[in-house]
Amino acid sequence: MRSILAAGMITLAVQGAAFAQTIQIPDRIEQLAPKAKESVNITLDGPLLQLAGQFMGANEQQVKQLISNLKAIHVRNFEFEREGQFSEADVEPLRAQLRSGWSRIVESRDGGDHIEIYVKQDRQQIGGLVIIASERKELSIVHIDGPIDLRQLSLLGGHLGIPAGIVPNIGGGSSRPAPEPRTAPQGGGKDEN
C-alpha cells in the first residue's frame, strides 16, 4: 500500500511540476491591445514555427537552427500613446505563473525601464525563457518554449516579431558580424594630428 501511495505522490509531483512550467499569456495582458497605438501578437508553435523558419534567408542559418529546436515562441508587444495605460498589476498574473518551476536570472531597473528574464531548467539545459520588459509607454513579453542556449539568444532579436533591443547578448553570442578592421588613411606620409 505504501509503495502505491508513494508512486501516486511521485506521479502527482511530476505532473504538478510539468503543469506549473506551462506558461499562458494571461487575458489581462491580451486585453491591453485595444488601448495600444501599436501592438504585436505573435504565437508560433509546432508546425507554424518550423514553417516560419523555412522563410529565413541563407544568411540566417544560425537562427534557423535555433528555431528548429524550439516548441513555441509567443511575443506580445504594446506601444501606448501615453503613460499609465498598463500597470504592474497587468503583469502580475504572468509573474505568478513564473514563481513555480522558473528562476529569475536577471532583473534590471533604470528609471522607468524594468527588465526581467526568467529561465526554466530542463535537465542540464535551459528548457524555456520568458522576458518581461516594460518602459513607461511600452510593454514587451517574449516566451520561448524549448531548449535554448543563452549564448545564442541575441540571434532571435529582430526575428519573428521579437524586438531587437529586448533580447540581451548573454555570454558573448552576437547577432551581428564583427566590424571591419579600420586601416590608417593614406595621407602621403603626413601626420594630420
* Cβ–Cβ under 8 Å, residues 126 and 148: yes
Tell me if 168 sits within 8 A of 154, measured CB to CB. yes
**Residue 65 located in a structural domain:** yes
CA–CA gap between residue 37 and residue 81 (Å, rounded): 6
Tell me whether residue 109 is in a domain.
yes
Tell me, what's the pLDDT at 13? Answer: 35
Q: Would you tell me how many other CB atoms lie within 10 Å of the CB of residue 159?
A: 19
Question: Is residue 51 situated within a structural domain?
Answer: yes
Structural contact between residues 152 and 175, judged by C-beta atoms closer than 8 angstroms? no
Q: How many CB atoms lie within 10 A of CB 80?
A: 19
Per-residue confidence band for 42, with pLDDT thresholds at 50, 70 and 90:
confident
pLDDT classification of 78: cutoffs 50, 70, 90? very high
Does any domain span residue 57?
yes
**In this structure, is residue 12 part of a structural domain?**
no
| pLDDT score at 81 | 96
Q: Whose grid coordinates read 501516486?
A: 8
CA distance 177 to 80: 33
Say if 173 falls within a structural domain.
Answer: no
Q: Which three cell numbers stand for residue 34?
A: 485595444
pTM: 0.69
Place of cell 539545459: 125
Q: Residue 113: inside a domain, yes or no?
A: yes
Give dist(CA 118, CA 105) in Å, integer.
Answer: 6
* Cell numbers found for residue 184: 590608417
Report the number of distinct structural domains present in the chain: 1
- Residue from 31, 51, 50 nearest 41 by CA: 31
- Does residue 4 lie within any of the structural domains? no
Whether residue 79 contacts residue 137, with contact meaning beta carbons closer than 8 Å, is answered with: yes
Domain with 108, as residue range(s), is 24-166
